Amino acid sequence: MGRSNVGKSSLINSLVRQPVARTSSTPGKTRLANVYRVARGAGTPFYLVDLPGYGFARGGSDDFQAITRAFFGQDRLDLAAILIVDSRHPGLRSDSAAWRWLHSTVDLSAVVATKIDKLARGQRIRALRELESVFDAPVAPVSAVTGEGLDELWKLMDRLANNRSPRSSSPRRATGPRHQKK
Ligand code: GTP
Ligand code: MG
């Protein structure tokens, strides 16, 4: 998830190297939760969900609120979230608010800074340092245009997909001591 026009759909297209998601230079393009099943080699298959962005007044925010709340409200899913931010705009209030909300709602979350191709080397280092301080978390730099950082993003998603959330493991713990390791 992330602000409208930050490049969420473009990032999905670059990750899978196919134009599966619709993108636009104007905000508010993605209006529904678009779900993609990702199966790669021996990795655990998972669903990648492209959500509408926030911060776009004409309809976009409403779509975002309703769809995002409905989506993350589903207790039975093993959910992980990636917040996508624009590497050129560290510290936006809407991004900080989204990160706080994600933290309180989803067990596994990470931050990715996109459009890194738009920054020169020195600016990148400064922007990443600032972003990591704002979010108090590691921030992975990527570009949907140049493909930079996509390998690392795949690894991050594999880690999130393989990490079982406490919520999903609690029913197994409740089945009793016979499942405990000796
Ligand atoms: P919504 O669906 O409206 O929430 O937007 P989105 O976050 O899905 O953004 P989208 O992928 O549609 O991209 C928005 C614009 O940013 C498009 O013009 C893209 O070409 C551009 N863009 C996306 N990623 C990058 C990037 O890594 N680098 C550069 N230079 N441009 C990008
Ligand atoms: Mg989109």
| Of residues 109, 101, 102, the one with CA closest to residue 80 | 109
Ligand 1 atom at minimal distance to the Cα of residue 12: 11
Ligand 2 midpoint to CA 2 (Å): 9
Q: Report if pTM > 0.85.
A: yes
Ligand 1 midpoint to CA 143 (Å): 10
Q: pLDDT per position in the chain (182 positions), as tens? A: 999 999 999 999 999 999 999 999 999 888 889 999 999 888 789 999 999 999 876 554 567 778 888 888 877 788 999 999 999 999 999 999 999 999 888 989 999 999 999 999 999 999 999 999 999 999 999 999 999 999 999 999 999 988 854 444 434 333 333 343 33
Contact criterion met (CB below 8 Å) for 33 and 49: yes
CA-closest residue to ligand 1 atom 28: 115
Q: Structural domains in the chain? A: 8-162 (3.40.50.300)
